[in-house]
């Protein structure tokens, strides 16, 4: 029996998701130590931006979604829920909440202090200089999907230290 046949899908998803998060964190950590916070932030965002269209296409393929554009709030909510569930390990997926409302808003909220990036940056003592890659990744996904949006609050640096929470909304515009 092969190793893949010995484990459940959820176990594999968690293993791969945690591996990706650990690699991402270690990459950021070493980039920060060698090049400084500004360069680490810049390279992180460049990597996220270039990864987003590839990631979106792969997720659409796995979910059996063709090249057609996602044009409704309901379709986007279904896609985002499925994409996050596939990509993130349970330990992260369960702590990130988002929902949509009838007025084309997508609300997000991390459980108090539970954003994996915030916790990692806090551990290495650089959270005040960290430019959020998590919400930026969602914005890059929307760009890759061709969906126009505006984010409130506009996220640059991690907002947890200042606000004590990470939450906000993205106003979607499916007409453009």
| Residue 77: per-residue pLDDT | 93
Residues 6+ apart with CB under 8 A from 26: none
**CA atoms within 13 Å, Cβ hemisphere of 59:** 21
Report the C-alpha gap between 102 and 105 in whole angstroms: 7
Question: Diameter of the chain by CA atoms?
Answer: 52
What pLDDT, on a 0 to 100 scale, did the predictor assign at position 20? 93
- Of the candidates 83, 78, 85, 88, the residue with the CA atom closest to the CA atom of residue 60: 83
Per-residue pLDDT, 55: 96
Q: Supply the pLDDT for residue 60.
A: 95
| pLDDT value of position 68 | 83
Q: Determine the pLDDT at residue 103.
A: 86
| Tokens linked to 81 | 């829920």
Protein fold of 9-173: Muramoyl-pentapeptide Carboxypeptidase; domain 2 (3.30.1380)
| Residue 102: CB atoms within 10 Å | 6
Can you give the pLDDT at residue 29?
96
Closest CA to 134 of 149, 119, 144: 119
- How do the pLDDT tens digits run along the chain, 176 residues long? 888 889 999 999 999 999 999 999 999 999 999 999 999 999 999 999 999 999 999 999 999 998 888 989 999 999 999 999 999 999 999 999 999 988 899 999 999 999 999 999 999 999 999 999 999 999 999 999 999 999 999 999 999 999 999 999 999 998 75
146: left (phi over 0), alpha (psi -120 to 50) or beta: left
Number of H helices, E strands in the chain: 8, 4
Would you state the structure tokens that stand for residue 75, as one six-digit string? 């379709």
Predicted pLDDT of residue 101 = 87
* Cα 157 from Cα 126, distance rounded (Å): 11
- Spans of all domains in the chain: 9-173
């Amino acid at each position: 029996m092969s190793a893949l046949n010995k484990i459940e899908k959820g176990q594999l998803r968690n293993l791969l998701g945690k591996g990706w998060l650990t690699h991402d964190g270690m990459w950021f950590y070493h980039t920060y130590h060698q090049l400084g916070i500004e360069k680490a932030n810049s390279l992180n965002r460049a990597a996220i931006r270039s990864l987003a269209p590839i990631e979106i296409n792969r997720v659409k393929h796995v979910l059996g979604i063709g090249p057609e554009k996602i044009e409704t709030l309901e379709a986007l909510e279904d896609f985002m829920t499925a994409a996050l569930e596939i990509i993130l390990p349970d330990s992260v997926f369960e702590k990130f909440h988002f929902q949509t409302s009838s007025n084309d808003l997508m609300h997000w909220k991390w459980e108090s202090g539970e954003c994996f990036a915030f916790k990692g940056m806090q551990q290495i003592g650089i959270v005040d200089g960290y430019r959020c890659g998590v919400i930026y990744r969602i914005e890059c996904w929307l760009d890759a999907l061709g969906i126009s949006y505006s984010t409130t609050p506009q996220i640059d640096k991690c907002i947890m230290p200042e606000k004590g929470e990470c939450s906000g909304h993205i106003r979607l515009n499916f007409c453009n």
